[in-house]
Structure 1
Amino acid sequence: MGSSTNRNTINNSSNRTFTSQTPCTRTHQIGALALIITTFFFTRTFDQSFNLCNYSTNEVIQSKRVTFVNNGKSVYWPDRGYGSHLDIKIYVYDEKEIDGLKTLMYGRDGKITADSCVKGQWGTQVKIHKLLLKSKFRTLVKEEADLFFVPSYVKCVRMMGGLNDKEINQTYVKVLTQMPYFRLSGGRNHIFIFPSGAGAHLFRSWAAYLNRSIILTPEGDRTDKRDTSAFNTWKDIIIPGNVDDSLTKSGSIQPLPLSKRKYLANFLGRAQGKSGRLQLVELAKQFPDKS
């Protein structure tokens, strides 16, 4: 009986404690909202003060921007999305540091030159490589690199008879297995260029080795009669096709100023009934003096 009485006393006490809690009223809700708003503005003010400590003047911020010049006017990038300055370091593999890399660039006999490969649709393999060699974002220290660029002129080499498909596949595998930083990231931070409709299919084992790597290619809708496309919108990037230097330097083409461009397109090759290519052909007819 005594224990039963004690349990009843405890239960009654618990009930009284529960029912005596203060209910949430409109006053409490308004107070909570005011606290949230105050915290938001305080945090924002603190962040702005912190940023001013890091970048005391606009000149410091502007000095870190990438600047392009068009018709005498400077265009800064990036201004939105990634902040006001770009901080990235890219390591470019030297052709001599990896056994087989020179083969992918100059063929089995080493007779194909960069000058011969800079022409035609595969010229971007050479131009982007040379651009990165001179880039302010290039680093010579692998340990501090955010991205790694693997130079290869393999499309040109194949077209000029420097390597066949089997040799290309074997050489790529040989090169990739010698790259410890490629293995470390699973290839996620390595960049490759495949500048034709064949895309990464030029390397037959791309699905096994480059399925996580960043691929730059001018066409993402092509499979070249394969079952799948090598292009992945989550990691790969569509780049413009190469415009031969002779066309722009000779004056036969007068590019529109960037401020007046609604479309930016380039095509070199055969339409082959591909819908994307046919759309470019129709678009070009609207600008006969620009194509």
Structure 2
Amino acid sequence: MTTVGFIGLGIMGGPMSAHLVAAGHDVRGYDVHADAVARLVDAGGTAARDVAGAVAGADVVITMLPNHPQVEEVVLGPGGVLDSARPGTLLIDMSTIRPETSIAVAEAATAKEVRVLDAPVSGGEAGAKQATLSVMVGGEERDFADARPLLDALGKTIVHVGPHGAGQVVKAANQLLVGGIYGLVGEAIVLMEASGVDAKTGLDVLAGGLAANRILDLKRESMVARQFQPGFRIDLHHKDMGIALAAARQADVALPLTGLVAQLVAAGRAMGYGSLDHSALLKVTEQLSGRSQGSSREG
């Protein structure tokens, strides 16, 4: 049994921490929302009063937070992870943040003799609940080996992709692909419906050919039905597209399609769709085409 301090028990972190409990680990969780902590306690975990309480005595600390400011506060701030962790502790940051923040955290942790991995995930809420996440891990190979038994309880595809920050670069690549595919599936639906073709039937055909992809497998029916209950909100995808564009600038490469997808996501936020699932990029294309459906269901 490993003692795990888990910080960030939201849509993703909540079910992930519960899987670790189910795998037999002692999980001490903290979140700014008391109801999130209560759900972990109901699953068999232990409530921590603050970050320090979650970290004290832990063998492994996992953070699952919204963005880099929260990671910097929780990990680097007073009373944070690095102030509270004992030497040798393994910190696994599973948030999606800027690669440079992951590198800075790893550098700061070295002075405290704390080991660090950046391990962002893909799979959304459904993947978190079903323990089928893909996890892309940056850091030292030996630390990845130590983390592997825990990560195996959370996902199906667990890959060490390189040094500190590499996990975040791969996640940025994931998000630009996901955003682009959602945008194109939305355009395909608009084109077919405007041409008098049944979009569900059309997408069923596309899903069996070269255009097949995971988003068509999982989301084509809900998109045609205009059901946009968030598994991953447009607001969060907007943040991630900013990370992808910043990473492109850092690497000194041109990603023109990524820039266009980022603008499509930004338009979705501006149109008031930020709280909807990112599949609601369909609504953006409809609005741009003058074909907005007043009966669209958002939940």
- Shorter chain as denominator, the TM-score bin is under 0.3
Larger Rg: 1
TM-score for both structures, normalised by structure 2:
0.27
TM-score for both structures, normalised by structure 1:
0.27
Greater fraction helix: 2
